[in-house]
Every structure is written in structure tokens, then in C-alpha cells.
A and B are shown apart, each in its own frame.
Chain A
Amino acid sequence: MAVRPAELARPVAGRPLTLRSLFEREGVFSWVMLSPGVLFLLAFVAYPFFYGIFLSLQDRRVATAGVFVGLANFVTLAHDAVFWQVTRNTFFYVAVTTVFKLVGGLGMALVMNQTFRGRNLTRAFLLLPFIVPTALSTIAWMWILDPTFSVVNWLLVHGGVISSGYSFLGNASLAMWSLVVVNTWRGMPFYGITLLAGLQTISPDLYEAAAIDGATTTQRFLYVTLPVIKPVLVIVTMFSVIFTFGDFQLIYALTHGGPANATHVFSTWAFDIGMSAGQLGMGAAVALAILPALAVLIVGLTFYLRRE
């Protein structure tokens, strides 16, 4: 006789309802198991998020009670030239690094998917930038980008390419491009390892069939590889964009938004306004300014995943 789940959960007539019998119910036990995770998300994700929205609607200075000001903080930001510079910086930083990481990460995955001697060692080394704590690797980059001690400048000068070293972090354009390079270096393994997982799901039969049909290497990549890893590619890009929008440590340690705000992004500017200036309401408003762009991405990701 088939037993339906509802019958399993129902207490047997005449049996007293004890704690033990309560936990034997699937529904109750599931919620007990789920509740730590749900509580964690509520406490550390939902609460800060809604508190951030609450703060952004207040003139709230540190150590004082807030005064509700509606959207005044956002109106003030809209009239601030630095806010628009920060917006441009953030979108440039996210767009360029995403393209670099996507192309580089795909290349990295394709190489790591080949069979060659020392493949496992290579895979481990390629993951290093992702494994090393950002604060530590950033210190190494500070030395690499230092005008006096930079190994890049040393090579260029001693190689006769240039007569004096570049100011990687002092020049506004070079500073932004330097940050792009460092972020790409750090983020590429995330693409590489995730796309490699996607590549390994492709059946060799597909490539054999394509080869028998006379497909070239490029055609096999375009019509076999890409379509199969497309879902992974989309998801990894979406996540990477979200992470890059919130990038803080690297920029804060290398330039702190300088020179003259040339590398300030939403996260670093929000921190300066909220923590250094003690303007918690305005700082929250700056942080939330990323929300529309992120919301579009999240909605896009959700729709894509449902469709797939």
C-alpha cells in the first residue's frame, strides 16, 4: 500500500504528541534544519540590506539619532560632480575587467582542459591569485607598481624601451588601468576554474562527430564548445560582475580612490563618506546607488536560469 507524505506527518491517533514525535515529522524537521541558514541570511544579509535602505533615507550622523529626509540624500548625490565621476569610474572598471577576465579565463580554461605534462601543477599555479588573500597580493602589487622599485619599470628601462619609469599610480589614466590589470589578474582564475568545469562536461563524441563532418578548430569552438558552456559562461559572468561592483580592498589599498578621485568607485567612496566623515545616511545612499544596476543583473540572471 502506498503511503502519502501527509499521512506520515500526521500523528498516530491515540499517541501523545511528544518532542520526539514532533521531530519525526518531515515538515517540522525540515524547518528546524533550515532555520539556522534562514536566520543567518536574515541576520547578515536581509537585515543589513533593509537597514541600509532605512539609513539612506535619513540624515544620520555617527553617534546621533537620524532625521528622516526621504530621498534628499539621493538628490544631493545627483547634484554632486564627484558622484558622477565615481559612477563613470565604477562602470568603466567593471566593464573592462569583465571583458578581460572573460576572455582570459576562457583561454585559461581551454589550455587547462588539454592533456599535457604538469597539467595538475599548472592548474594549481593558475589558481594562486584567487587563493592568496587580496590584502597580501595587493602589497606585492604596490611594489610592482612603485616608480622606484617597480620590476616592470626596471625591465622597460633596462630593456631600452623607455628612458624613465611610468608613474603607474600617480597618473590618473594609468592608475585606473593598473587597477584593471590587478583585478583581472586576481579574478581570472575564478572564470578559468568555473569554465573548466563546464568544458569537462562536453562529451568527446561531439568533437569527434564535428571532426568527421570536417569542422575546423574554430568551428568546433564556435558550434560545439561555446553553446555547451554558454549557461556556465553567463552565470559566472553575472556573479563576477556583482563581485566587481563591490570591489573594495584592492582599490582602497592601492590608491584609496586617488589621484584626485580618478579611481574612486562606489564602495570606496561610500566607505569614506560613511566611516571617515561619519555621514552614515549619505554613505548608505552611495552604497545603494549600485542597486539598480545590480537589480537588473539579478533579474536577468533569474530569468535566464528559469528559461534554461
Chain B
Amino acid sequence: MSSRREFLTASLAATGAAALAPRWAAAQPKSMTVVHESSFIKPFDEYFVKTLSPEYEKLTKIKVNYETVSVGSMLTRLTTIVETKSGPEITATGINWPHLFDPSLVDVSDVADEIGKKLGPWHDNIYDAVVVNKKWKALPWGNIGQLEVYRTDWFKQAGVTKFPDNWEDLLAAGRLLKKAGHPFGFELGHGFGDNHGWLYPLLWSYGGREVDKDGKTVLIDSSETAAAVDFCRKFYKETMFEDVLGWTDVNNNKAFFGEQISCTNNASSILEVGIRDFPDIAKVTDHALNPQGPKGRFHVFNAQSHAILTHASDQAAAKNFLRWLYDDKQLSRWLVSANAYYAPFLQKYDNHPMWNAEPRYIPYKECLKTSRLHGWPGPPGHQASESVAKYVVVDMFAKACRGDATKDVIATAATQLKQIYKAKS
């Protein structure tokens, strides 16, 4: 370029071409995009990309792209999609997200009814997660359960032949195992799932609650919560080691395969990875329901669902795709590819052959009955999510474990919850 005029002309031409590019792209064949968090079960994602998407394209000429985001970042991605009103037409949701993103999600009650009639009825507890103001805002395909994952060989060596059914018995087993050099490792740090996975159930099983059904009365300051906190401190001190206080979600998996711990709380992904990469450890790994406390047995609910975003230009096409995907012919195969990692909420699938392939996954189906959303029995809305994001319950237990007084940690949690739920002091 010999002059600045030529440089400017070239720059303007390049800018013009860039500005026009999206218009050309819009003229491409019809397609839609589904965004998912990368599954811990690789065949699940692969089955969609290599089998389901091509089948649908062959049938309808609509290409369905499958976008994945890294584990733990789906909520951030969805927030960006909703705030910019652009991007994928269909999104995966988890936990209580349909409540958070309600105004940006299409009512899919009609499709849910059809699926319920064919494969259902739906399990009762799924309504709390996906039905907002009497409208289905997402279509659930399965729950990712958080259960006890333990080493059968070390438990047997310590004289524990059956996994303990209640927290006190698990504490007794933990003492023996720690003494034998195989401590427990339950996350008490700021991860996104494996901490809540056992601390909410522990709180509930002792009768403790964050807030009442009305979403206004904070209930955390109770003798039941104090009993749960006292138990947790004892459980931590006598069965674990200090590092669990700083663990995030990767650490317990790493410690389990590093043969550092004998028991943790996790999804079935540990066994899945074990079968693939650590077959010797996988042989001596099993699952059990969370132990029960004086007020029952609980698990956290993590309903994985699909929702259609209101910015989708062709919402009917998106619905038709989900209708096809949730047909038994497709859904059944897709769930099988996930090796029972996702426990479906449809009663017709309660005895699905997928549960026969590996009996060690069956507790993940059984836990559905006793699963509750974080913040239960309070409403599953923004405040529940704020409490989770601020680690109110997790930090209450973690502070007690590091040595703070029970009344102090409960008082701090109560102050935080009153602020979150705008409750009267």
C-alpha cells in the first residue's frame, strides 16, 4: 500500500465484509443449537452428536448442533445467553434453574403432558424443579444423584460388611477406617456439588431447615441444626483430615483414585471413570444411599432438563425436536448410552433395562424418592440460589469443623439467611 488512502480503502473493505458476514450466514440451511454442560459420561455427548443429531437431520433436514461448555460453567453460559437474548435455542438446565430463568423460557406444558402420558406419569418431586407458576418451563431427562461412594475392600477389612444405614454408624465405621489409614473425604470447601451433596441431606436428616415453606421465616437457628453441626464436627475430626475444608469438586475424585480416602459423597462418575481408567479400584467401589438421621434420609435433587429459550426464532421447531428426542425410541437409547448416570423421572423407566447392566448404579434410582431441592422446604427461587452461591450452609458446617462454636456458626448463617430472604430479625 503506497498511500494512507489505499490503507483506508482496504480497511473499510475488510470492515464491510465482516459486517456483512452474519447476513450471509443467516441464509444457511435451517439449524438449531442445543447447549449442554460436558457430561462426565463421554458416550452420552457422543451419542447425541454421532447418532441422534444425524438421525434428526435425515428426518427433517434440520441440523441440530450440540454445544458443550465445561463442567461447572453452564450457569454462567446460560446467564450470558439469556441476558444477550442470542445463541442456542435449546438449553440444558439443572437444579432450580427454570425458576431463575422463568421469563426467558418457553412454556412446554403441552410437550410435558404428551411425554407424561406416553412414558409417565412423571415422578411427583420433579414438579418443584421445573414447573413455575403452573407451567412446565423445562423437560427433565434425568437426575444426577449424589450418594455415598466407598471402598468395599477396606470397609470389609475394618469389619464393616454392610454400608452403615445411619450417620452414627457411619461415624463408627469411619473411626475404624481412619485408624487403619483409610480416612473419609467429604468435601467441605467451595465446590459446586459434592459439598451440598451431603451437607444439605445431613442438615435435613437431623431436622434442620434453612427457611420455612413461606420463604420468609428463617428456621436455621434451631436445636436440630445444632445437633447436625455438632455431629458434622465430630464426623470431620474423627474420620477425615484438614484438607477437605479447602476441597473443590475435583479433589475427592483425585483422592479416591489416589487411594487416599475410603468413602466420599459423589455422583456415579467415580465408578464410571474407575471402570475406564482404574479397573482395580472400580472392582472394589460401590454406592450406597446417604445415611439417615433422627428425622429421616435425604438426598439433593439435581434435575437435568431441556428448556427452549424465548429468543428462539422458531419455537415450534424447537418443541418438535424435543418431542422427537423425548420419544421412547430416542430417549431410551440416549439414557442407555449414559450408563444410568441420569435417573429418569418417568415411571415407565423405573424398571428400564439400563438399570440391569450394572446393579451398583441402582441406588441412584432409589434416591429419587428422598431427593429435595437445595433450600427445601423453602421456595425454589432466587433466594435459594443466593444461599447456595454464598455457601451459607456449607460454610456453617465448615466453620464448625475448623473449631468455631456451634452457636456462632448458626448465628452467622441465620444473619445471612435473614438478609437473603429479607426476613424480619
Interface residues in chain A, defined as those with a beta carbon under 8 Å from any beta carbon in chain B:
20, 23, 29, 32, 61-64, 76, 79-82, 142, 146-149, 167-172, 175, 255-261, 272-273, 275-280
Number of B residues near A (Cβ < 8 Å) is 46
> From residue A176, how far is it (CB to closest CB) to chain B in Å?
11
**Could you say which of A61, A146, A278 has the most chain B C-beta atoms within 10 Å of its C-beta?**
A278
Partner of A259 from the list B82, B100, B402, B419 (CB cut-off 8 Å) is B402
Interface locus among B145-153, B223-231, B245-253, B334-342: B245-253
In the complex, chain A residues whose CB is within 8 Å of the CB of B102: 63
Interface residues of B in 314-362 (CB under 8 A from A): none
Q: How far is the CA of A169 from the CA of B246 in the complex (A)?
A: 5
Taking a contact as CB atoms under 8 Å apart, the answer to whether B382 and A170 are in contact is no
Would you call B366 an interface residue if the criterion is a C-beta within 8 Å of the partner chain's C-beta atoms? no
Would you call B83 an interface residue if the criterion is a C-beta within 8 Å of the partner chain's C-beta atoms? yes
Partner of B399 from the list A62, A257, A260 (CB cut-off 8 Å) is A260
In the complex, chain B residues whose CB is within 8 Å of the CB of A278: 79, 100, 382, 385-386
Q: How far is the CA of A62 from the CA of B98 in the complex (A)?
A: 12
CB-based closest 10 A-B pairs: A258-B190, A277-B389, A169-B246, A276-B389, A256-B190, A170-B243, A170-B246, A258-B189, A167-B242, A259-B245
Q: How far is the CA of A20 from the CA of B241 in the complex (A)?
A: 75
Taking a contact as CB atoms under 8 Å apart, the answer to whether A277 and B386 are in contact is yes
In the complex, chain A residues whose CB is within 8 Å of the CB of B296: none
Q: How far is the CA of A171 from the CA of B398 in the complex (A)?
A: 11
Interface residues of B in 215-269 (CB under 8 A from A): 241-248, 250-251, 254-255, 258, 260
Taking a contact as CB atoms under 8 Å apart, the answer to whether A273 and B82 are in contact is no
Taking a contact as CB atoms under 8 Å apart, the answer to whether A258 and B398 are in contact is yes
Number of contacts between A and B (CB, 8 Å)? 121
> SS class of chain A's interface: helix, strand, loop or mixed?
loop
Would you call B388 an interface residue if the criterion is a C-beta within 8 Å of the partner chain's C-beta atoms? yes
Q: Which residue of the partner chain B has the closest CB to A61? A: B382
Taking a contact as CB atoms under 8 Å apart, the answer to whether B386 and A279 are in contact is yes
Taking a contact as CB atoms under 8 Å apart, the answer to whether B246 and A63 are in contact is no
Would you call B58 an interface residue if the criterion is a C-beta within 8 Å of the partner chain's C-beta atoms? no
Would you call B68 an interface residue if the criterion is a C-beta within 8 Å of the partner chain's C-beta atoms? no
Taking a contact as CB atoms under 8 Å apart, the answer to whether A32 and B385 are in contact is no
Q: How far is the CA of A169 from the CA of B191 in the complex (A)?
A: 13
Would you call B412 an interface residue if the criterion is a C-beta within 8 Å of the partner chain's C-beta atoms? yes
Interface residues of B in 193-207 (CB under 8 A from A): none
In the complex, chain A residues whose CB is within 8 Å of the CB of B82: 62-63
> From residue A223, how far is it (CB to closest CB) to chain B in Å?
47
Taking a contact as CB atoms under 8 Å apart, the answer to whether A175 and B246 are in contact is yes
Q: Which residue of the partner chain B has the closest CB to A65? A: B103
Partner of B101 from the list A32, A62, A148, A280 (CB cut-off 8 Å) is A62
Taking a contact as CB atoms under 8 Å apart, the answer to whether B76 and A63 are in contact is no
Q: Which residue of the partner chain A has the closest CB to B247? A: A170
Q: How far is the CA of A32 from the CA of B246 in the complex (A)?
A: 53
Sample 12 A-B pairs with CB under 8 A, ordered by A number: A29-B4, A62-B83, A62-B100, A167-B242, A170-B246, A256-B190, A257-B190, A259-B245, A259-B402, A275-B75, A277-B388, A278-B79
Q: How far is the CA of A81 from the CA of B4 in the complex (A)?
A: 59
Given contacts A169-B247, A170-B189, A273-B386, 10 further A-B contacts (CB under 8 A): A62-B83, A80-B416, A82-B416, A142-B250, A169-B243, A170-B245, A258-B246, A258-B398, A259-B402, A278-B386
**A63-B82, A76-B419, A256-B248 are known contacts. Are A277 and B385 too (CB-CB below 8 A)?**
yes
Interface residues of B in 249-294 (CB under 8 A from A): 250-251, 254-255, 258, 260
Q: How far is the CA of A79 from the CA of B425 in the complex (A)?
A: 13
**A167-B243, A169-B246 are known contacts. Are A260 and B395 too (CB-CB below 8 A)?**
yes
In the complex, chain A residues whose CB is within 8 Å of the CB of B4: 23, 29
In the complex, chain B residues whose CB is within 8 Å of the CB of A255: 189-190, 246, 248
Q: Which residue of the partner chain A has the closest CB to B396? A: A260
Q: Which residue of the partner chain A has the closest CB to B254? A: A146
In the complex, chain B residues whose CB is within 8 Å of the CB of A80: 416, 419
